[in-house]
Chain A
Amino acid sequence: MNPYEWRLIARLSLHNLLNHRVKSLIIGVIILMGSFLVVVGTAMLDSIESSMSRSIISSLAGHLQVYSNKGKDELAIFGGMMMAAEDIGKMPDFKQVKQTLSADPNVKAIIPMGIDFATIFSGNEIDDVLEDMRKAAKINDQAALTDLRRKLMQLVSMMRQEFTQQLKITSNIKKYTDGLKELDVVSAPEFWKDFETNPLPVLDHFDSKIAGLAADGVLYYFRYVGTDLAAFQENFDRLKIVRGEMVPKGKRGFLFNNKILEDYVKNKVARDLDWIHRKIIEDQKPHNDSEVRTRIRQNMRQFRKVTFQLTPANAEKLEAELDNILKETPRAPVTDPKDDFSKNFAPLDPNSRESRLNRKLQDFLWVDSGNIARRYEFFYKVVAPMIKLYPFNAGDTITLRGLTKSGYMKAVNVKVYGVFEFEGLGKSDLAGGHSLMDIMTFRDLYGFLTDDKKKELAEIKSETGIKEVNQDNAEAELFGSAATPIEKAAESDGTFDEFAGLQLTGQKEFQDALMARSFDQEAVDNGVALNAAIILKDPGKLRETQMRLEETAKAAKLDLKVVDWQKASGIVGQFVVLVRVVLFIAIFIIFAVALVIINNSMVMATMERVMEIGTMRAIGAQSRLVLTLFLSETLLLATISGGLGAFLGAGFISWLGRQGIPAVTDILVFLFSGPKLFPEWGVQNLVIAFAMILMISLISTFYPALIATRIRPAVAMSPKE
């Protein structure tokens, strides 16, 4: 077509668009919305992917992860589908891996890791006091024993109070009457008469008769990463110590994740008060919101988590302080019976100090929107210093217990140096799911089966000489016709020395020496690791570096897999893929609908324009011109509407980028790499949206345009019916 024809088409197109305003408006709005959604959707997704990659890379994964290709499972740093730790095999010689892969020009650091689970047992309040008393008894610290005895008797007194109350409401009368009898025994002065000279029988009695009457202890279950802590801190710069200190270089030590401590380990009353405070103050929920109401009621019932920890002096002091705060912060009058929690009060015995304190504390924990801020402040200022807010604090030595790779349970003592969080991800459950530990302790706890141990086990086994029996044929083998006589006299009737040739002593001393000893970088590198994080100098060259490292590992016969941060992170990393799929399905559906609507509108418009087109054809317009005219009309409309939609989408994203989208859930904190997401758009988002919208518009117009080309001039001449 010549320029004249193009000009004509352009003028005609514009004229037609204006002439069919309603049709143009409908199609234009659809195109605008489609374009807007594509820009917003793809820009948001790109922003989430970018922030999530920051979360994953800077908290635990690094840019790449390397691990054995002989394991049964894939590496899933943030946990996979299983509750247990994945079997990802092991890298028996980390030093060789480090030396080989560090030669790559784009590798900045390689940090050894081992991820596993461990448990920490914390006894009940009586167990804790008894343990301290045993320690004091060992060194004959009479002053400490006297103090602790007073605390123990305070607990006995509180238990008596609780048991007496329970007797009034329980059906299990025997449990509490027996319990009270036991409490009577230990309350009698004659029970304590030899305590100063021989405390152990008293403690044994408490262990077996009294401690079991109190609440059960707690078993905490942790996921941890054993690593080269110094290298970790250097390369994962989001690591921030919030309490205590970093484990000194070359020392064994443990760092608790703040999120775990705050959400699962902290004293339950404090934890619930934190939650209630957050809901009322930060989330602006009223105290009679059903969820908040339930939590307040629940917190009132667990007052013993505070009172059981008080020394007699603190109990007295707290009672007086509670009188003041209750007067200072009265509750608003209760109007709704649902907000009346007075039936949750334990019965009051005005003559018993424990009972009075219990009532006042319960009254204090019955908070409302008006007094929560002040009472919260009071709790942390007055109550918290009197109790143990966390069972484990910086400076404590904790006992971690884990199932070793050889199948045996193993316990290690390790010192807690501090509490950490990943900056900006403090509220995220995912980033807050792992505690950190030195790799030497990890190796002890992971307990690989050495050749020496295998030999030892085989020897023990051979001494017994028992035959293997499978369950399927156990009854036939054990009791069938060939079964040996069931009963016979024992062959040996003498005694035996179970300790002959055995050495049981010195294990604690050995472990203590290990804890005290420093280790160097050689010891860190020279051992086993399950996986390792690779930090790159230029993250933009991730793909080529990954391929190069795979080749290097293969050439060095290291049997390794090299995966990127997204794959290494497990289900979390797949989240973006999932969101992208959902977004594309949504866009596809929107465009399919748009295509049908545009197509229908155009077909109808074509029918309305039969006379016009017939006349054009009669005065010499070729079908090619008609086709071009229709397509150019749509192209013009799509360019204007699509462009406007893309422009509005970019504007909307820019506005969101300034405001920030708050992360309302813990998962979003991780995905947004902080408390807010500040999305950004890029040229690629506009180009994609524009290209897609043009394509859809042209496709949807093609059929009506084809119909138009088939209109004969005679139709325009024939009279209307």
Chain B
Amino acid sequence: MRFRFSVLSLVLLAALGGTPAAALNPDETLKVVKEVDDRQRNSGDYKALVYIEQKERDKNDQVFEAVVYRRDDDDKLLILFLKPKSEAGKGYLRLDKNLFLYDPTVGKWERRTERERIGGTDSRRQDFDESRLAEEYTSKYIAEEKLGKFSVHHIELKAKPGMDVAYPILHIWVDKETNNMLKQEEYALSGKKMRTSYYPAWEKKYSPSKKAEVYFPKEIRIFDEVEKGNKTTVVIREVDLNSLDPNIFTKAWLESKSR
């Protein structure tokens, strides 16, 4: 009987593709998610030069160059478009839970939602902001999986009640070895998959304010799952972790840049 059970177990294991990896318990899972956040957190100021490219089926490609300013201490964020000429001076300013859009050609501010498509692309404010996964979502370990040649933790994240996030359900795949996030899938509340993003390259830089290294994705590839064929690529070309002028995160500063 014992022999038969062992054979059955082996057959089942073989059918499942080998020895199953040990699942992380909830604490360990949360630790991984926090680690993903912590590695990107600067605890100070952050400035990045980014390139955004949007490809849509049957439409012209859109490309932008923008500078992202971040003050992680008080959750402030400013995205200022620099190129092309027609977009230069437009900007998004996040103050607390508000996202404002400024257009210098009309000199107007508009309040936008968390689901705003930045510059009309498929990227969202969260793609440029500090990672706050542990703060905004509860986590659940799904499995250890393979993503190409990398062993990854597959974790499901669900938005905590009252959190205003662009997507209420996320699935993330985190590199077991480095703890860098390699893939993220975003879902609507109905369970419909909305976007798949890949983070194929990460860079690190020493931060004087954090007194440790800060990690940032060099490249983000975002694929639209609703409008198949649409994709956005974000490339972070330069990062500067020096202190920023406190006035940057004001409407007046952004207006002054294009006046």
Produce 1/0 per residue, A451-470, CB < 8 A to B: 00100110011011010010
Complex contacts, B259 vs chain A, CB 8 Å: 505, 508
Docked-complex contact B196 and A480, CB < 8 angstroms:
no
Nearest B residue to A123 via CB reads B111
Docked-complex contact A460 and B178, CB < 8 angstroms:
no
Docked-complex contact A486 and B180, CB < 8 angstroms:
yes
Complex contacts, B200 vs chain A, CB 8 Å: 478-479, 483-484, 486
Docked-complex contact A487 and B149, CB < 8 angstroms:
no
Produce 1/0 per residue, B75-108, CB < 8 A to A: 0000010111111110000011110100111111
Report Cα–Cα, A134/B235, bound state, in Å. Answer: 36
Docked-complex contact B242 and A486, CB < 8 angstroms:
no
Complex contacts, B252 vs chain A, CB 8 Å: 200, 204
Docked-complex contact A488 and B203, CB < 8 angstroms:
yes
Q: Is A504 an interface residue (CB 8 A)?
A: yes
A401-425 interface with B by 8 A CB criterion: 401, 403, 405-413
Known: A212-B97, A460-B51, A480-B149. 4 other contacts (CB 8 A): A478-B148, A486-B200, A498-B67, A504-B258
Which of the residues A460, A480, A508 comes within 8 Å of B83, measured between beta carbons? A460
Docked-complex contact B251 and A407, CB < 8 angstroms:
no
Complex contacts, B149 vs chain A, CB 8 Å: 479-481, 483
Docked-complex contact A474 and B223, CB < 8 angstroms:
yes
Report Cα–Cα, A613/B200, bound state, in Å. Answer: 100
Q: Is A502 an interface residue (CB 8 A)?
A: yes
Nearest B residue to A456 via CB reads B84
Docked-complex contact A460 and B84, CB < 8 angstroms:
yes
User: Could you tell me the distance in whole angstroms from the C-beta of B97 to the nearest C-beta in chain A?
Assistant: 6
User: Could you tell me the distance in whole angstroms from the C-beta of A86 to the nearest C-beta in chain B?
Assistant: 14
Docked-complex contact A475 and B98, CB < 8 angstroms:
no
Complex contacts, A413 vs chain B, CB 8 Å: 105-108
Report Cα–Cα, A211/B96, bound state, in Å. Answer: 12
Complex contacts, B111 vs chain A, CB 8 Å: 123, 127, 211-212, 216-217
Nearest A residue to B178 via CB reads A487
Q: Is B238 an interface residue (CB 8 A)?
A: yes
Docked-complex contact B107 and A508, CB < 8 angstroms:
yes
Report Cα–Cα, A464/B100, bound state, in Å. Answer: 28
Complex contacts, B61 vs chain A, CB 8 Å: 407, 457, 461
Which of the residues A399, A403, A490 comes within 8 Å of B106, measured between beta carbons? A399
Complex contacts, A412 vs chain B, CB 8 Å: 105-106
Docked-complex contact B106 and A211, CB < 8 angstroms:
no
Which stretch of B9-17, B29-37, B52-60, B129-137 is in the interface?
B52-60
The A contact surface, by secondary structure, is: mixed
- 19 chain-A/chain-B pairs, Cβ below 8 angstroms: A207-B251, A208-B95, A216-B111, A411-B106, A412-B105, A460-B64, A460-B83, A475-B148, A483-B149, A487-B178, A487-B204, A489-B204, A489-B205, A490-B205, A504-B88, A505-B257, A508-B104, A508-B107, A510-B105
Report Cα–Cα, A347/B103, bound state, in Å. Answer: 42
Complex contacts, B108 vs chain A, CB 8 Å: 399, 411, 413
B175-229 interface with A by 8 A CB criterion: 175, 178, 180, 182-183, 196, 198, 200-206, 215, 219, 221, 223, 228
A193-235 interface with B by 8 A CB criterion: 200, 204, 207-209, 211-212, 216-217
Report Cα–Cα, A212/B162, bound state, in Å. Answer: 15
Nearest A residue to B149 via CB reads A481
Report Cα–Cα, A211/B109, bound state, in Å. Answer: 13
Q: Is A324 an interface residue (CB 8 A)?
A: no
Produce 1/0 per residue, B39-60, CB < 8 A to A: 0000000010101011010011
Report Cα–Cα, A502/B84, bound state, in Å. Answer: 10
User: Could you tell me the distance in whole angstroms from the C-beta of A133 to the nearest C-beta in chain B?
Assistant: 12
Report Cα–Cα, A480/B146, bound state, in Å. Answer: 10
Report Cα–Cα, A62/B95, bound state, in Å. Answer: 51
Complex contacts, B97 vs chain A, CB 8 Å: 212
A370-414 interface with B by 8 A CB criterion: 399, 401, 403, 405-413
Docked-complex contact A174 and B162, CB < 8 angstroms:
yes
Q: Which of A409, A487, A506 has the most CB of B within 10 A?
A: A487
Docked-complex contact B54 and A480, CB < 8 angstroms:
no
Report Cα–Cα, A411/B178, bound state, in Å. Answer: 44
Which of the residues B67, B86, B239, B251 comes within 8 Å of A204, measured between beta carbons? B251
Complex contacts, A408 vs chain B, CB 8 Å: 62, 86-87, 119-120
Given contact pairs A479-B150, A484-B201, A487-B215, A474 touches B104 in the complex (Cβ within 8 A): no
User: Could you tell me the distance in whole angstroms from the C-beta of B162 to the nearest C-beta in chain A?
Assistant: 7
Given contact pairs A478-B148, A484-B201, A502 touches B178 in the complex (Cβ within 8 A): no
Q: Is B63 an interface residue (CB 8 A)?
A: yes
Report Cα–Cα, A217/B252, bound state, in Å. Answer: 22
Q: Is A2 an interface residue (CB 8 A)?
A: no
Q: Is A351 an interface residue (CB 8 A)?
A: no
Complex contacts, A407 vs chain B, CB 8 Å: 54, 56, 59-62, 120
Report Cα–Cα, A406/B119, bound state, in Å. Answer: 13
Q: Which of A413, A453, A464, A492 has the most CB of B within 10 A?
A: A464
Docked-complex contact A453 and B105, CB < 8 angstroms:
no
Docked-complex contact B240 and A486, CB < 8 angstroms:
no
Complex contacts, B201 vs chain A, CB 8 Å: 484, 486-488
Complex contacts, A506 vs chain B, CB 8 Å: 258
Report Cα–Cα, A478/B257, bound state, in Å. Answer: 38
Given contact pairs A471-B223, A486-B182, A411 touches B105 in the complex (Cβ within 8 A): yes
Q: Is A640 an interface residue (CB 8 A)?
A: no
Q: Is B123 an interface residue (CB 8 A)?
A: no
Complex contacts, A469 vs chain B, CB 8 Å: 221
Complex contacts, A495 vs chain B, CB 8 Å: 47, 240, 242
Given contact pairs A457-B84, A479-B200, A466 touches B233 in the complex (Cβ within 8 A): yes
Report Cα–Cα, A526/B80, bound state, in Å. Answer: 35
Q: Is A547 an interface residue (CB 8 A)?
A: no
Complex contacts, A456 vs chain B, CB 8 Å: 83-85
Given contact pairs A200-B252, A489-B205, A504 touches B257 in the complex (Cβ within 8 A): yes
Docked-complex contact B120 and A411, CB < 8 angstroms:
no
Q: Is A476 an interface residue (CB 8 A)?
A: yes
Q: Is A496 an interface residue (CB 8 A)?
A: yes
Nearest B residue to A449 via CB reads B60
